[in-house]
């Protein structure tokens, strides 16, 4: 499990859950701080209706949703302000890799969107992907080390996330992380924030 390096990040706001202040960061900075956040598989726990105060801290319009995800490699449960949209991402590759990807059909792993050569001579392969809007924010809600624990914690989320009272349900579930730590029943690595 990767350690997080959040101390160097600018905190843009905070959410209070169960008496604990949870930091809200710029998503691009948050991802840049720990490469595993971007390269890891993540489990999506839906788009949640959030109260107006939460929407304001995440800098999203009231009435829009926030995406809840658990990042496998870091164990971070995060709330993403905004909804992913289809976009394009790129990665720098060598000329040889770009040439091979350009010749191979997309369904066999070749380039799906194209190859780009910039003025500095760098070659980038372009991919269609879901991307978050620029300026998106992320709230770091909890650290949960193991997948079975996060699934147990959020069991039934699919019945709650679109309801107006769904946010209260999520806060109650997350509060169990701190409550379980008081009795020694939880891994010390599972906690809010």
Look at 51-55, 120-124, 140-144, 171-175 and tell me which has the smallest mean pLDDT. 120-124
Instruction: Indicate if 107 and 167 belong to the same structural domain.
Output: no
Q: How many Å is the maximal CA-CA distance in the chain? A: 60
Instruction: Indicate if 17 and 78 belong to the same structural domain.
Output: yes
Per residue in 51-61, pLDDT tens?
999 999 999 98
Per residue in 3-50, pLDDT tens?
456 767 899 999 988 788 999 999 989 988 998 898 889 999 999 999
Tell me how far apart the alpha carbons of residues 57 and 60 are, in angstroms, rounded to a whole number. Answer: 8
Tell me how far apart the alpha carbons of residues 45 and 125 are, in angstroms, rounded to a whole number. Answer: 30
Instruction: Indicate if 55 and 150 belong to the same structural domain.
Output: yes
The model's pTM = 0.73
SS3 content of the chain, % helix, strand, coil (to 5): 30, 35, 35
Provide the 8-state DSSP code for 102.
H
The answer to whether the CB of 130 falls within 8 A of the CB of 87 is yes
Instruction: Indicate if 101 and 177 belong to the same structural domain.
Output: no
Region 110-137 average pLDDT? 62
- What was the pLDDT predicted at 105? 44
Instruction: Indicate if 80 and 36 belong to the same structural domain.
Output: yes
Instruction: Indicate if 79 and 93 belong to the same structural domain.
Output: no
Instruction: Indicate if 142 and 119 belong to the same structural domain.
Output: no
């Amino acid at each position: 499990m990767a350690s997080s390096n959040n101390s160097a990040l600018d905190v843009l706001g905070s959410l209070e859950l169960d008496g604990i202040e949870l930091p809200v960061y710029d998503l691009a900075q948050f991802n840049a701080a720990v490469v595993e956040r971007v390269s890891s598989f993540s489990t999506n726990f839906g788009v949640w209706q959030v109260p107006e105060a939460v929407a304001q801290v995440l800098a999203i319009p009231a009435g829009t949703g926030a995406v809840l995800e658990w990042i496998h490699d870091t164990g971070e449960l995060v709330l993403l302000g905004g909804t992913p949209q289809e976009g394009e991402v790129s990665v720098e590759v060598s000329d040889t890799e770009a040439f091979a990807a350009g010749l191979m059909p997309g369904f066999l792993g070749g380039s799906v969107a194209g190859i780009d050569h910039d003025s500095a001579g760098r070659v980038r392969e372009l991919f269609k992907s879901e991307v978050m809007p620029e300026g998106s924010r992320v709230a770091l809600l909890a650290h949960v080390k193991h997948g079975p624990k996060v699934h147990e914690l959020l069991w039934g989320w699919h019945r709650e996330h679109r309801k107006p009272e769904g946010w209260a349900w999520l806060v109650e579930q997350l509060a169990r992380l701190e409550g379980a730590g008081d009795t020694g029943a939880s891994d010390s690595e599972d906690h809010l924030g």
